[in-house]
Amino acid sequence: MGVGKTAPMALPTEHRQVLIASLPNGRLRTEDFEVRSAPLPVPGDGKVLCRTVAITIGAGQRAGLQGSASYAGAPEAGRVMGGTGVAQVVSASGGRLRVGDLVWGQTGWQEYSVQQPEALTVLDPSVLASDHLGVLGLNGVTAYFGVTEVGRVQAGETFVVSAAAGSVGHVAGQVAKALGARVVGIAGSDEKAAMLVDLLGFDVGLNRKSENFRTAFRAATPERIDVYFDNTGGDLLESALFRMNQRGRVVCCGVVSQYDTSTPGPGPRGVPGLLVNNRVRMEGFLVFDFEPRYDEARRQLSAWMSAGSLRALTTGYSGLESAPQAFVDLLAGTTSGTPIVQVWEA
């Protein structure tokens, strides 16, 4: 998925977009989206027209559709589905961007978008678009700051991460490992649990759906937990709270167990009693808090990739129309790593 510079191309008069057809009621379905054709947008003064190369989908976007993600605003049917993508500039009039530049920004689920140049990050075209969207994208950066700044993991500590085979989770576990922690990952199948160990170098992989999960979880954390990186909330958060060490840290990254439903469950038992008794710090964060430091995270993540201590996992989809299915799969736990929807082969 490397993208090079190309000559100016003839532009079509129409392009395809994926709209939110209806706000999900219960679990997300592909029928909640609709593909339609629309006139090609025309960039106004100072703006640029971009052709989407690939998009990624994050679990947090389901919280956006639920109305529970403060940063995403109120969800609304009839709109183009929002989202992050890598795109190529296809029309620009002066300014810092040139036709052919590869950029990262809020492309949405559509083939073309008009963008403010300041809202775009110019990318290195020699890096895979899937890496720009995954391990070096918002989810990779989320993992980096969640582990280093919120969890403040130290060498020798026990680090546990939920949704460990997912986009944020697989990077978080590898970052903690690179920093010298003992890493336990929780995922949704035996295959994923084995992959965490065999492919990504985690110390232990656990299947949250197995009958003996609670016993296996205790056995995997004999010295209890110093940092729990919580992507899920729900039962897993509760189980981890009961295993925290004194002065442990719970990194509240997301609540995916409560997104794909119209009836989110209550919070876990143990708050605040266990936090008080064990002097545990439980802290939520949003990656946007760290925006001025994104480059620092990307440099360190790239260095770990070059050194072979960080492996990027992706699940690929082909064509804009496959985005709704990728979203449904992500929530159902059938993807691994970052879902990447290839929209255009530049």
Ligand X SMILES: NC(=O)c1ccc[n+]([C@@H]2O[C@H](COP(=O)([O-])OP(=O)(O)OC[C@H]3O[C@@H](n4cnc5c(N)ncnc54)[C@H](OP(=O)(O)O)[C@@H]3O)[C@@H](O)[C@H]2O)c1
Neighbours of 339 (CB within 10 A): 28
CB-based contact 53:84 (threshold 8 Å)? no
Q: Which residue has the tokens 């409560």?
A: 258
125 three-class SS: coil
Cα–chain center distance at 150: 17
Task: Mark the segment that binds ligand X (CB under 6 A) among 39-47, 147-155, 215-223, 325-333.
Answer: 325-333
Whole-number minimum distance, CB 57 to ligand X, in Å?
Answer: 7
Between 100 and 140, CB nearer to ligand X: 140
Helices (H), ranges, the chain: 60-66, 129-133, 138-145, 167-178, 190-198, 213-220, 234-241, 273-278, 294-307, 323-332
| Residue 169 is a binding residue for ligand X (CB under 6 A) | yes
Whole-number minimum distance, CB 287 to ligand X, in Å?
Answer: 4
| Residue 60 is a binding residue for ligand X (CB under 6 A) | yes
| Residue 167 is a binding residue for ligand X (CB under 6 A) | yes
Q: Which residue has the tokens 């946007």?
A: 288
Neighbours of 228 (CB within 10 A): 29
Task: Mark the segment that binds ligand X (CB under 6 A) among 15-23, 116-124, 162-170, 316-324.
Answer: 162-170
CB-based contact 18:47 (threshold 8 Å)? no
Whole-number minimum distance, CB 227 to ligand X, in Å?
Answer: 15
| Residue 344 is a binding residue for ligand X (CB under 6 A) | no
DSSP state of 337: B
| Residue 330 is a binding residue for ligand X (CB under 6 A) | yes
| Residue 86 is a binding residue for ligand X (CB under 6 A) | no
Determine phi and psi for 72, rounding to 5 degrees: -90, -10
Between 100 and 270, CB nearer to ligand X: 270
Count of residues touching ligand X (by CB under 6 A): 33
| Residue 58 is a binding residue for ligand X (CB under 6 A) | yes
| Residue 257 is a binding residue for ligand X (CB under 6 A) | yes
Between 19 and 251, CB nearer to ligand X: 251
Site for ligand X in 97-136 (CB under 6 A): none
CB-based contact 295:145 (threshold 8 Å)? no
Whats the size of the chain, residue-wise? 346
1 three-class SS: coil
Binding mask 216-235 for ligand X (x = CB under 6 A): ---------------xx-x-
Q: Are strands 182-187 and 204-207 parallel, antiparallel or unpaired?
A: parallel
Which residues of the shown chain bind ligand X in the complex (CB under 6 A)? 58-60, 63, 138-139, 142, 163, 165-169, 187-188, 192, 208, 231-232, 234, 236, 253-257, 285-287, 330-331, 333, 335
